[in-house]
Amino acid sequence: MNSTNRVLNRLFLLVIGLVVLIAGATAVAVTTVPAWSHLWKRSAPGWQSTLEHAQQLGLASIGVPRPVPWFLAATPVIALVVIVLLLIFVFAQGWGRLGRVVDGWHVADGETDAFLTVDVEVARDAIRQAARGIRGISEPAVTAYRVKGEPALKVTVSITDGIDAATLVEPLESALREWDGLLGEEVPVYLQLTPAIGEGVRAPLRALTAGRRELSLVE
Using CB under 8 A as the binding rule, the residues of this chain from 122 to 151 that contact other proteins are: 147-150
Query: Please, are residues 97 and 142 in contact by the beta-carbon 8 Å criterion?
Result: no
88 or 218: CB nearest other proteins: 88
Region of 94 on the Ramachandran plot (φ > 0 left; ψ -120 to 50 alpha; else beta): left
For other proteins, the binding residues in 154-183 under the rule CB under 8 A are 155, 159, 161-166, 169, 172-173, 176-177, 180
Shortest CB 217 distance to other proteins, Å: 32
54 is a site residue for other proteins (CB under 8 A): no
Shortest CB 214 distance to other proteins, Å: 32
19 is a site residue for other proteins (CB under 8 A): yes
118 or 145: CB nearest other proteins: 145
- What DSSP letter does each residue of 83-146 carry, written as one string? HHHHHHHHHTTT--EESEEEEEEEEESSS-EEEEEEEHHHHHHHHHHHHTT-TTB-PPEEEEEE
Shortest CB 186 distance to other proteins, Å: 7
User: In angstroms, how far is CA 60 from the centroid of its own chain?
Assistant: 45
107 or 169: CB nearest other proteins: 169
For other proteins, the binding residues in 63-122 under the rule CB under 8 A are 64, 66, 68, 72-73, 75-76, 78-80, 82-83, 86-87, 89-90, 93-94
List 41, 206, 212, 213, residue binding other proteins (CB under 8 A): 41
Q: 214 to each of 28, 96, 104, 124, 210, how far by Cα in Å?
A: 67, 31, 31, 18, 6
